[in-house]
Every structure is written in structure tokens, then in C-alpha cells.
Amino acid sequence: MKKLTALKLATLALGTSNLILCAGAATVPTQLQTLPQSTAIPVSFVQSVNAKHAKVGDAVTAKTMQVIVLPGGQMIDKGAVVVGHLVAVQAFQFDPTPYAHQKPSLISIHFDKLQQGAGGIPVNLSVRAIASSLDSVEAARPHYLDETDRVGTVTLIGGAQFTPFDKAIQAADGDAIGYNRKNGVFARLAPSGYSGAAASFHCQGTDSEQSVAIYSPNACGVYGFAGDYLAGNGQDGSGTFTLAARGRSVELHAGSTALLQVNDTK
């Protein structure tokens, strides 16, 4: 074999490097800068937050429960991290004054960014619906009516039902209100409302399909938290939601879930 000259070797190496760089550039997705308004983000909380022990500034972490498909075709992976922090904390303290109105315990959380790849996307989010860890586990798996039922029925948080083999999720009138696909459950969000002890809010519908995971298209408010309520859901543009309780210190257990939504900042 003839020896290659130094010039030929350098030229060959340069050409190979250019091919590698071009191939790499073709596979790198465009980094998202913002998320479209009204985008739904179903998440599961990674760690518990207890008003007795937490303090302002503590980090709060959640992970996306399924793939989120954006209008432009870009995707946020299942397991993407949503990072936030505690804005306010109040443990329950009994006031012994006769006929005193007991102050509620509360935790206020603001989500700051969604970690996608090497970068973070700033977010301003509200809580459309939030569910306890127990309700979330129950909504994630089929339940069987009896020993002859080999398929089971999945009941999403908010009440919509389907079997694992169903592709379409149907309302009582037979209309399709969502779809069970390989990457999760998707639906156009339906308008609904929540009325709690300290606040009421309206959950708007969407014309675009959203990732809902274990939530019904009409899910809105608090599910499975005995006595807990939303004193604010961040829909006012603050991006801060407050979970409160009376007579005890509020606790958000790991495994609890929420259907977050990008606020309309107009």
C-alpha cells in the first residue's frame, strides 16, 4: 500500500470531520424558547412537601407523565423535569382564643422552568387540576369488575372511562372526547369550573389537542385531598398555586399529580 502524504491525510481528516459535524447538526432539535399558551403539562410530584417542615425557597420538582406534542410538531419527553420553589408556607397552629377563627395551613408553589435537554424553558403555569397520590395511582391502571373481566376499565381523574384496548374515549352520547394512543392519552380540554373554600376559577376549553395522561378533558380543581382546597391556582398570571387545609398542616405527597397549563400572558 502506498503511503499517504501529510497533505492527503490532513485533507481526509478534514472531510471526515465535516461529515460528522453535518450529520450531528441534522439531528439536533431546535431548542424551545417558550411554550404555546394553554399547553397542558401533566406532571407527578417527585418529593413530598409538608408545611410542618418546609420553608420558603425550598425546591419543588415534578416530572412530565407522558410525551407532550406541541403544535409545531416538537415534543417534550416523558420524564422531563419541571422545577419550581416554595413561595409561602404556613403550618397549622391552633389558636386557643375562645371562638377564634383558625387560620388555614398552606403551601404556595411557583414553577419556574421546564428542563428539556441541556437547557431550561421559562414557564408561567397555573394548576388546572390536582390529585392526591392515591387517586393518581388508581387512575393510572384498569380496574376489574369481577373475575370474568379480563380487560378492566380505566377511570381518569374527572370521570372519563375507557378500556386499555379502546382507541377513542367516548362520552355518554358516544362522541369521542379523547384518544388513547401509544404515547399516552390526548384530548381537547373541555370547559369546566371549580368552586372551593377560598377561591373559584374557570377552566377554559381548547381547540387544540393536549396531553392529559390520567386526567379527563373536563378535570378542574382538587381530587382526593380530604379537606384540602385550592386557595389560588396561578391563573391570575402569577404562576403561583396555593394548596390549603384547615385544622391540620397541609401536605402534598410524592406521587401526587397535577394537570398544569401555560398561562395566557396577553
| pLDDT tens digits for range 137-162 | 999 999 987 777 788 999 999 999 99
**Rounded Cα gap, residues 131 and 53, in angstroms:** 22
Mean of pLDDT over the chain: 88
pTM of the model: 0.85
Q: Which residues contact 83 (CB under 8 A, 6 or more apart)?
A: 59, 60, 61, 111, 112, 113, 114, 115, 120
Is residue 188 within 8 A of residue 248, CB to CB? The reply is no
The two beta strands, 40-45 and 200-203, are unpaired
157: Cβ–Cβ under 8 A, 6 or more apart, which residues? Answer: 129, 131, 135, 136, 139, 214, 215, 216, 219, 223, 257
C-alpha distance from residue 177 to each of 41, 66, 132, 220 (Å)? 18, 18, 24, 16
pLDDT tens digit sequence for 128-142: 999 999 999 999 999
Domain map (residue ranges) of the chain: 7-262
pLDDT tens sequence across 38-96: 999 999 999 999 999 999 999 999 999 999 999 888 999 999 999 999 999 999 999 99
User: Exposed, middle or buried, 84 (CB in 10 Å: 0-12/13-18/19+)?
Assistant: buried
- pLDDT top residue among 147 and 239: 239
Farthest CA pair distance, the chain = 101
Please state, in angstroms and as integers, the Cα–Cα distance from residue 184 to each residue in 9, 39, 190, following that order: 51, 15, 18
| 265 closest CA partner among 236, 242, 225, 233 | 236
Which of 196 and 52 is assigned the larger pLDDT? 52
Q: Residue 16 pLDDT > 90, yes or no?
A: no
